[in-house]
Structure 1
């Protein structure tokens, strides 16, 4: 019997590199892939992306990069199989959105049969001018439904 499912695979970690206070970092997070083998018609789905603030140390005001300074853009599909209409949430950097609220990263709006789509999203972080030096950590979460 064939297993049917809707799943998402994301990079476990991403190193965005270093930046100075007042600078902007723009880095790819790595490949995100949705696989859909559900036998429903249509088998549509939506991927949502969220983020925590990025913090270092105890997370004081000067040790926090708030989500209002963290933007995301999905870019286009870099690989896909199966039919249907695929819609990136933010096809280009000009459409990048802050992650202050959950955002749509990618959608399949029509079609049926098995499908798979992959994209390489970019995270843009505007480092506050008063930020202290340190190793900042945050979590970017993709979920599919």
Structure 2
């Protein structure tokens, strides 16, 4: 089983221009949610494996040649598969390039300039062995290829895990000023 949830509208501004607030892009780029994750999780019987991510995140402005970073917001995996033995799963994360305008060479920040580190679990229930992909900033990985964000390797029964990853975007020299938007995708299987 593979479920993918996409975070759209991660925005930053190069060349020190003013940034577009997160709520300005939220309606144009809503996060998709899996069918198994209704809005009222506490009121409904859940089954299966699902993941939820924040809708939109603005990282503000950064000058050309600098880096900008910040927390992405809580990412949560809910595993309602019951007494599967073992109840293990893996979350992978990828990123697109960040673009503005017509997305020409001077209007693109490659995904090889986007880094991610998961940090530890901020909340968990249900037990088992939880393994963050990148426990500290020293283990940050570049998102030019799929990377492991978090995994559960042992344990049985229903479980829930939340973490708040950090994203770092290195703004290259030679890009034009503008609002750069990209997509970070978390998948659980």
TM over 0.5: same fold? Answer: yes
Query: Which of 52, 55, 59 is matched with 1:9 structurally?
Result: 52
Q: Does 1:24 align with 2:92?
A: no
Query: Which of 150, 156, 159 is matched with 1:106 structurally?
Result: 150
Match for residue 28 of structure 2?
none
Q: Does 1:64 align with 2:98?
A: no
User: What is the rounded CA distance, in whole Å, between the counterparts of 1:60 and 1:136 in structure 2?
Assistant: 12
User: What is the rounded CA distance, in whole Å, between the counterparts of 2:134 and 2:60 in structure 1?
Assistant: 23
User: What is the rounded CA distance, in whole Å, between the counterparts of 1:17 and 1:48 in structure 2?
Assistant: 26
Give the deviation of 1:37 after TM superposition: 1.0
Give the deviation of 1:65 after TM superposition: 0.4
Instruction: Name the SS of the counterpart of 1:68 in structure 2.
Output: helix
1:68-100 per-position Cα deviation (integer Å, ceiling 9, x unaligned): 100010010000001100000011111000001
Q: Tell me the TM-score normalized by structure 1.
A: 0.97
Give the deviation of 1:3 after TM superposition: 3.9
Match for residue 178 of structure 2?
134
Residue correspondences, number? 145
Shift >2 Å, 4+ stretches: none
Match for residue 124 of structure 1?
168
User: What is the rounded CA distance, in whole Å, between the counterparts of 1:57 and 1:27 in structure 2?
Assistant: 24
Instruction: Name the SS of the counterpart of 2:182 in structure 1.
Output: coil
Match for residue 44 of structure 1?
88
User: What is the rounded CA distance, in whole Å, between the counterparts of 1:4 and 1:58 in structure 2?
Assistant: 43
What CA RMSD, in Å, does the superposition of the two structures yield over aligned residues?
A: 1.2
User: What is the rounded CA distance, in whole Å, between the counterparts of 2:58 and 2:184 in structure 1?
Assistant: 12
Q: Flag structure 1 segments of 5+ consecutive residues without an equivalent.
A: none
Higher RCO structure (Cα 8 Å, ≥6 apart): 1
